[in-house]
Amino acid sequence: MSIVEAACCGLHVVSTKVGGIPEVLPPEFITLAEPNPEILIKSILNSIKNCQNNLFPNSKKKHD
């Protein structure tokens, strides 16, 4: 439920590919990672970089 709330607030979501999470949000709202700490860290860092490079314009627009 919290990933849907985050997406509704305009945030890009990073989550693991477990349960029904891949089916909850469309790909432009979520980055899915394998349930592995190192891969999850890389996914989070890539999402931060993409946000800083304005590749998630909806998130940036909502929070500026």
Which pLDDT tens digit goes with each residue over 3-59?
Answer: 888 888 888 899 998 888 888 888 888 999 999 999 999 999 999 998 888 877 665
Q: Give the per-residue pLDDT at 27.
A: 84
Check residue 29 and report its DSSP letter.
G
* Nearest residue to 16 (alpha-carbon basis) of 45, 48, 40: 40
CB 8 within 8 A of CB 59: no
pLDDT given for residue 64 in this prediction:
53
Boundaries of domain holding 53: 2-63
Number of domains in the chain: 1
- 63, pLDDT greater than 70: no
pTM metric for this prediction: 0.75
Query: Which string of b and e fits 7-37 if b means at least 16 CB within 10 Å?
Result: beeebbbbbeeeeeeeeebeeebbbebeeee
